[in-house]
Amino acid sequence: MTVRRQPVLGILGGGQLARMLALAAAPLGVKTLVVDSATDACAGQVATLVVADWTDYAALEAFARQVDVVTFDFENVPAETAHWLAQRVAVFPAPRALAVAQDRLAEKTLFRECGLGTPDFMAIDTRADLDRALSTIGAPAILKTRRLGYDGKGQFRLRSLADADAAWVALGPQASAHGLILEAFVPFERELSVIAVRGRDGDFRTWPLTQNWHTDGVLSLSLAPAPDVGSLQERATHLARTLAEQLDYVGVFALELFVKGGELLGNEMAPRVHNSGHWTIEGALTSQFENHVRAVLGLPLGDTAARGLSAMFNWIGELPDAAPVLSAVDAHWHDYGKQPRLGRKVGHATVCAANAEQMVERLGGIAHALGRDQQVGPAVRELG
């Protein structure tokens, strides 16, 4: 009898995204090997963990020999590490996609090349550059680091030109190392994201548009499919496909979008599975995590249709009482196994329903029991 060898997926980064990728890989007969510098990386609770720094090339060499393909848990893995690994083992998405998404200037430039509008932006390297950009773009505006920024980190909002000094004090020291970018503030009507997947064979699919609400720059609540999007779904799908083909992308990615005046503007791209797609675990025929595993291993992609309506609570800092979720109908609890910490993503919960009326009832009941009525208010109004 021939013994079948299980494929091994290597994941750079050991956070909750790697954890959920490992959980999705197991039913497919795929083993996972995770690299992270933290000994307590939460993916290590469900997958084999290699503790190593991104520049520990001896450890990475051994890692590359044990896996069939490498992917990412987060986008701030050094592009140099990705390129080094790509010379030894298949790496998806390709290091170029990672490098573009790591640099907000390169990212916004690519968006425009692909026909996706963006807020006005200018590169900032010196204080004089900031003054010139403000004279062109005006205020309000947002000064951001070009690299190493996520979940609202590395950003300063200028409400008026008088905030220039404070903005430079906050972020100016990072200008020489990483560069900055000034972006016009967008008085958007809605925040949407499209989660997309592209296989090795070019097969491309998207999940229904998701509407998102943020608190202090961190995702607080998602609702999918986003209500009343009309032709925006087709437009978002076209833009995501164009972007994926431009980058020869393989795997799942998220395209974060603003809606203003009925038009889509590009905010950011995440070259990985994404927080706003967590609802797909219970709410779609195939989750973003399973389809990412399928895509990078060259397996056929699964159906991305929604099963109904889904809403996702993001738990930040510490977990609330699980009982109101666990006792509710068609509600699902996810504990990432992390220690509580201010601003840290420690878990999420997804509520599913057949229609808007049912969703309002279920979502409202859980939120009220947890004292989070304000968190779900915007979604309830959209559904109403």
pLDDT digits (tens, 9 = 90+) for 101-150: 889 999 999 999 999 999 999 999 999 999 999 999 999 999 999 886 65
Half-sphere exposure of 369 (CA within 13 A, CB side): 15
- What confidence category does residue 208 fall into, taking pLDDT thresholds of 50, 70 and 90? very high
* CA separation, residue 377 to residues 182, 220, 359 (Å): 32, 12, 12
Domain membership flag for residue 1: no
Q: Are residues 195 and 180 in the same domain?
A: no
Quick check: bond before 95 cis, omega within 30? no
Domain membership flag for residue 104: no
Domains: count for the chain: 3
Q: Which pair of tokens denotes residue 27?
A: 């039913």
Q: Are residues 211 and 316 in the same domain?
A: yes
Q: Are residues 40 and 152 in the same domain?
A: no
Please report the pLDDT score of residue 2 as a whole number: 55
- CATH number, domain containing residue 339: 3.30.470.20
Q: Are residues 241 and 359 in the same domain?
A: yes
**325: closest CA among 377, 367, 374?**
367
Host H or E run for residue 255: strand 251-260
Question: Does pLDDT of 151 surpass 60?
Answer: no
Host H or E run for residue 243: helix 232-247
CA 287 to chain centroid, in Å, comes to 14
- What confidence category does residue 1 fall into, taking pLDDT thresholds of 50, 70 and 90? low
Q: Are residues 194 and 157 in the same domain?
A: no
Identify any residues that bridge with 315 across adjacent strands, giving them in sequence order.
Answer: 347
Q: Are residues 171 and 197 in the same domain?
A: no
Q: Are residues 229 and 343 in the same domain?
A: yes
Give the structural domain span for 316.
Answer: 190-383
Q: What percent of the chain has pLDDT over 70?
A: 97
Q: Are residues 335 and 370 in the same domain?
A: yes
- CATH number, domain containing residue 39: 3.40.50.20
Q: Are residues 20 and 128 in the same domain?
A: no
- CATH number, domain containing residue 142: 3.30.1490.20
Residue 23 near residue 9 (C-beta atoms within 8 A): no
Q: Are residues 348 and 219 in the same domain?
A: yes
